[in-house]
Amino acid sequence: MATTSYIDKSGTEYQYHMKFDSSENDFIIVSSDNIAFRVSSSKLKSCGSTFGDMLDTCQSEENTNTHLKIDSSSKILSIFLSAITERTINLKGLVWEEFTELMDLCNQFDTYQAGRTILNDNIKPINHFGEQNAYELFALADQFDAFLCVFKIISAIKPYADEHSKLWTEGPWPRKSIENLSVTWVWAYLQGHHQCTIKYSYNEHSNYWRDVAARFLQNISEELDN
């Protein structure tokens, strides 16, 4: 009969997450709501040095802990662990606050490839989280070099350009609108606007924002090649 719970050295019992209860896995992670996840230590180590260092510490003879506690809910932790160990991602039902918690985990554990995949391949920015979060998605994409995510955001922003964020207006921008963005990111975006306003008036052409998005990608690509 399969074991349904994990008991640590202090005698505390934790129920296993139904998707992470395989006895073939050799390491335990516990969520903030005290759900246990059985995971493969070798897969975690392959995700990067942060997990590698943590596992070495947890598995050392001097350490009295038998598991790693991560300050995140079991709902978010299950998505994160699936993304980094199984390369499967399901964001259905996530609200914005939960999504940012997921991306914080990607940052915390230096799993940037998973972060890029989540942003580039799984996000329909305006439809999924609402236009009011478009700027925050833009800034998140900057952290993970998620260029395709930005293309989707800029291409879709036209109906909301002047309603929710100064980022989407022609200017001038408040300093706080760009303080969390890299210089290259801001330059590529502003240059995209400049190139498009030479071609046609700001926001007065049906292809304006898609053109800005395409030029943003081109500007970023050229900058990285230099």
Is-contact 28 86, C-beta < 8 A?
A: no
Tell me how far apart the alpha carbons of residues 58 and 65 are, in angstroms, rounded to a whole number.
Answer: 6
In the numeric block, the tokens 């999504």 are attached to 99
* pLDDT higher than 80, residue 129: no
Highest mean pLDDT among 52-61, 182-191, 199-208: 182-191
SS3 of the chain = CCCCEEECCCCCEEEECCCCCCCCCCEEEECCCCEEEEECHHHHHHCCHHHHHHHHHHCCCCCCCCCEECCCCHHHHHHHHHHHHHCCCCCCCCCHHHHHHHHHHHHHCCCHHHHHHHHHHHCCHHHHHCHHHHHHHHHHHHHHCCHHHHHHHHHHCHHHCCCCCHHHCCCCCCHHHHCCCCHHHHHHHHHHHHHHHHHCCCCCCCCHHHHHHHHHHHHHHHHHHC
More confident residue, 19 or 53: 19
Highest mean pLDDT among 152-161, 193-202, 208-217: 208-217
pTM score of the predicted model: 0.81
Task: Quote the pLDDT of residue 152.
Answer: 83
**Which residues contact residue 109 at a Cβ distance below 8 angstroms, ignoring those fewer than 6 apart?**
47, 48, 50, 51, 84
Mean of pLDDT values over 185-211: 80
Task: Quote the pLDDT of residue 63.
Answer: 55
Mean of pLDDT values over 192-201: 81
Which of these ranges, 5-19, 97-111, 176-190, 207-221, has the smallest mean pLDDT? Answer: 176-190
* pLDDT higher than 90, residue 148: no
Neighbours of 179 (CB within 10 A): 9
Mean of pLDDT values over 37-43: 90
**Mean pLDDT, the chain, as a whole number?**
81
Q: Take residue 154 and report the two structure tokens written for it.
A: 């800029």
For residue 50, what pLDDT band results from cuts at 50, 70 and 90? confident
**Which residues contact residue 110 at a Cβ distance below 8 angstroms, ignoring those fewer than 6 apart?**
48, 49, 50
Task: Quote the pLDDT of residue 32.
Answer: 95
* pLDDT higher than 80, residue 167: no
Which of these ranges, 105-119, 135-149, 169-183, 195-209, has the smallest mean pLDDT? Answer: 169-183
